Amino acid sequence: MSDNQKVIEIEVLRYHPEKDKEPHKQVFEVPFTDDMSVLQGVQYIKDYLDGSLSFRWSCRMAICGSCGMMINGEPSLSCQTFLRDYYPARVRVEALSHFPIERDLVINMEGFMEKLESIQPYIIPKEPRTLQEGEYLQTPEQLNEYEQFSSCINCLLCYAACPQFGLNSSFIGPAATALLHRYNVDSRDGGKAERMELINSEEGVFNCTAVGYCSEVCPKHVDPANAVNQNKTISAADYFLRFLTPKGGAK
């Protein structure tokens, strides 16, 4: 290390369920260079200062969606957030908001996994199709309909950003709704009626109060708020018109 090595203070929210009654903060002094991300900062802590620190990470390039954390109170991917942007002030790193903490910066994402499963995130063909019939063809317009919503990496930053999910965790939430919408508007899919049941339900889109912070924090530029609000309109139209249409999401 050179003499002019910069050192930043990283305040980490620690929680070890077998030892701690409640989460508490711990401050580490971490030497860093300008190219170091917050993730590299916490990796430095784990490698050199305290091996018991737990956090999730994998790809280091905003593809895998594992390293989401609250950084100075903002839901962020720690791999694309840089220590230099906080220096010389202290940077605060905490587990994602609105989720139970499993340990330190690791959240329990079981609730989200159930939601993900419930939206049936796969193409449900309109009718059975044999191999001989060949591949599905789509026009660029048909691709445009859903493409941006398919970029979700399940990092859960939008859930940490959503005040309504924070107040009511049964709300299906931004990412799951965006992905649900992605399949509903896919020209190859025929599962819309089944999925709309969830959109229309008390766990569905009407929990949203159009805050829009979900879309702001999304690292992949998905616009979940847009998906949620499009589905409010679709759901409301179905609510009032369902008795007029021969078939639909009527229950």
Partner 1 sequence: MNATNATNAMKTTTRKRSNAPIFWALFGAGGMLSALFGPMLVFITGIAVPLGVVLPKDTMSYPHMLAFAQNLIGKGFIFAIIALFLWHAAHRIFHSLHDIGIHAGTGAKLLCYGLAMVGTVIAAYALLAIGF
Q: Which stretch binds partner 1 (CB under 8 A): 5-13, 81-89, 182-190, 235-243?
A: 235-243
Does residue 200 interact with partner 1 by CB under 8 A?
yes
Short-list 105, 134, 136, CA closest to 11: 105
Q: Is 174 in the site for partner 1 (CB under 8 A)?
A: no
Pick between residue 146 and residue 206 the one whose CB is nearest to partner 1. 206
Kindly state the smallest distance separating residue 202's Cβ from partner 1, in Å. Answer: 5
- Is 202 among the residues that bind partner 1 (CB under 8 A)? yes
State yes or no: residue 57 binds partner 1 (CB under 8 A). Answer: no
Choice from 57, 159, 183, 206 touching partner 1 (CB under 8 A): 206
Q: How far is the CB of 229 from partner 1 (least distance, A)?
A: 11
All residues at 6 or more sequence positions from 205 whose CB lies less than 8 Å from its CB, including other chains: 172, 177, 199, 228, 229, 231, 232, 235
When binding is defined by CB under 8 A, the residue of 131, 240, 244, 247 that contacts partner 1 is: 240
229 binds partner 1 (CB under 8 A): no
- Bridge partners (DSSP) of residue 10 are 28, 91
Q: Does the footprint of partner 1 cover residue 113 (CB under 8 A)?
A: no
89: left (phi over 0), alpha (psi -120 to 50) or beta: beta
Q: Which of 111, 163, 212, 248 binds partner 1 (CB under 8 A)?
A: 163
H or E segment at 25?
strand 24-32
Closest of 244, 247, 213 to residue 228, by C-alpha: 213
Dmax (CA) of the chain: 77
- Site membership for partner 1, residue 245 (CB under 8 A): no
One of 41, 204, 219, 224 touching partner 1 (CB under 8 A): 204
CB nearer partner 1, residue 222 or residue 225:
225
In terms of Cα–Cα distance, which of 112, 81, 242 is closest to 178?
A: 112
CB proximity list for 136: less than 8 A, separation 6 or greater:
187, 188
The span from the CA of 222 to the CA of 153, in Å, is: 10
For residue 125, what is the DSSP state?
Answer: B
Q: Which residues bind partner 1 (CB under 8 A)?
A: 118, 163, 167, 197-198, 200-204, 206, 209, 232, 235-236, 239-240, 251
